[in-house]
Amino acid sequence: MRAILSRRRWRSGRAGRTYAAVIVYFVAFALLVFALVKWYLLPGLRAAQYADAKGREGLAANALLVLIVVLFALLAGLVLTFRVSRFFFPRPTAPRRQTQYTDAWAESAKRLQTPPEE
């Protein structure tokens, strides 16, 4: 009985792993976006108000570089968290075998014990 209960607990815990991974990924994503806005975008926006044309171009190029790095990190996190690669690169499987069906009547005839003749 204990083995059955532990198996059920294992199965239910396994089903919850997907939800936990999604929640952790979105919380980490929200924290990263919050940090990016607070410590990079808002100071850059304030600095762009007082910058000349060359300074604005530098800030725009720097912002583009940070955007590329953050999006790459998010994409890598998405692939690692949800194992998206299994949809694009499935593992090779063994060739399927044809099921061998036995004739029930022939099998019963083999097992039949005939009474001795009198």
| pLDDT tens digits, one per residue of 15-70 | 566 778 778 888 988 898 888 888 888 888 888 888 899 998 998 899 889 888 98
- Assess if residue 115 is contained within a domain: no
- Assess if residue 118 is contained within a domain: no
CB 25 within 8 A of CB 77: yes
**pLDDT over threshold 60, residue 4:** no
- Assess if residue 65 is contained within a domain: yes
Please state the three-class secondary structure of 9-25 as a single string: HHHHHHHHHHHHHHHHH
First to last CA, the chain: 54
- Assess if residue 64 is contained within a domain: yes
| pLDDT tens digits, one per residue of 80-99 | 777 766 677 777 888 888 98
Domain of 52, in residue numbers: 29-90
**pLDDT over threshold 70, residue 110:** yes
Domain count, the chain: 1
- Assess if residue 100 is contained within a domain: no
